[in-house]
Amino acid sequence: MTISVETPDNELSIPFDYVPGARGHAVLAAGEDESGSAALAVWRLGATGQAVGAWVLSMSAVRRDNEEFQQVMNLIRDRSLVAWDADSPMEVIGRIAPELPASLVESLRRNVLLIPDLLAEIAEQRAAITLAADEYRRTASSKVAPLMWPTDIPSPAELRVVADEMQHPAAPVVAKALGLSAGLARVAQLWQETEQVRARRRYLRTLGDPQLLPPRWLESVRAAVNAGSQV
């Protein structure tokens, strides 16, 4: 069984989460579909986690209709895979590697973003912003209120529990994909909250213009585009 849900995606259009030089993210998940058969979930996500395409492919269909499978996988070749840990995406890629060109398999393996790493980068950025605010406050001629973040950064385990609890699909493989997508979207929201706090304070704007993604994260999704173009 093959199920696909895709929103129109004109390659020339500019979505609300458009990031110059980046295409976005993708999710690969393996598990059982509604019938209990082995299946693969492929989610295509924008830069901030907005879903722009979703497919559930039975593994039997993958082997039977390789052309359709390759078409779906080509749609994520220039996107960073998102995962909770390093082993899970490698395991899924290993299962489907015999059905894909070696160049695409290698590209997928090179371009993986771990949600714990994204949380850690946001924590680093917040620490740097807080330090800059503290230094300004020490020399300011008038009283300056300390920074207040609207939401604390959760641990990866806490975020995963919340993301998974939000999902109630019939198929386990879909639950995995939706949980990862929700986790990424929440991390992107945490970063947007961080930049909003910084941008509201004029003395912190010297740290740079607001960005949709923090530096290392942005570099990774842009690198995925370059890698995908070589497949």
Q: Would you state the pLDDT for residue 16? A: 53
Same domain, yes or no: 6 and 101:
yes
Same domain, yes or no: 136 and 170:
yes
User: Which of 25-39, 129-143, 166-180 tops mean pLDDT?
Assistant: 25-39
- Confidence band, pLDDT 50/70/90 cuts, at residue 17: low
Check whether 120 has a pLDDT greater than 90.
yes
Same domain, yes or no: 59 and 9:
yes
* Residue 86 buriedness (CB in 10 A; 0-12 / 13-18 / 19+): exposed
Quote the domain boundaries for residue 159.
116-215
Q: How many domains does the chain have?
A: 2
Same domain, yes or no: 39 and 57:
yes
DSSP string covering 136-195: HHHH-SS--PPP--SSPPPPHHHHHHHHHHT---SSHHHHHHHHHHHHHHHHHHHHHHHH
Same domain, yes or no: 94 and 57:
yes
- Rounded to whole angstroms, the Cα distance separating 184 from 47 reads 10
Same domain, yes or no: 31 and 83:
yes
Q: What is the mean pLDDT of residues 111-128?
A: 97
Q: What is the mean pLDDT of residues 59-88?
A: 91
Same domain, yes or no: 108 and 121:
no
Same domain, yes or no: 162 and 127:
yes
- Rounded to whole angstroms, the Cα distance separating 162 from 154 reads 10
Q: What is the mean pLDDT of residues 154-161?
A: 96
Residue type at position 177:
A
- Number of C-beta neighbours around residue 110 at 10 A: 12
Same domain, yes or no: 109 and 165:
no
Q: What is the mean pLDDT of residues 110-138?
A: 95
DSSP string covering 20-32: TT---EEEEEEEE
Q: Would you state the pLDDT for residue 61? A: 85
- Confidence band, pLDDT 50/70/90 cuts, at residue 25: very high
Same domain, yes or no: 77 and 109:
yes
Q: What is the mean pLDDT of residues 28-40?
A: 94
Same domain, yes or no: 158 and 110:
no
Give the orientation angle of helix 115-139 with respect to helix 172-199, to 10 degrees: 10
pTM: 0.88
Same domain, yes or no: 104 and 204:
no
Check whether 80 has a pLDDT greater than 90.
yes
CB 70 within 8 A of CB 100: yes
Contacts of 137 (CB under 8 A, 6+ apart): 144, 146
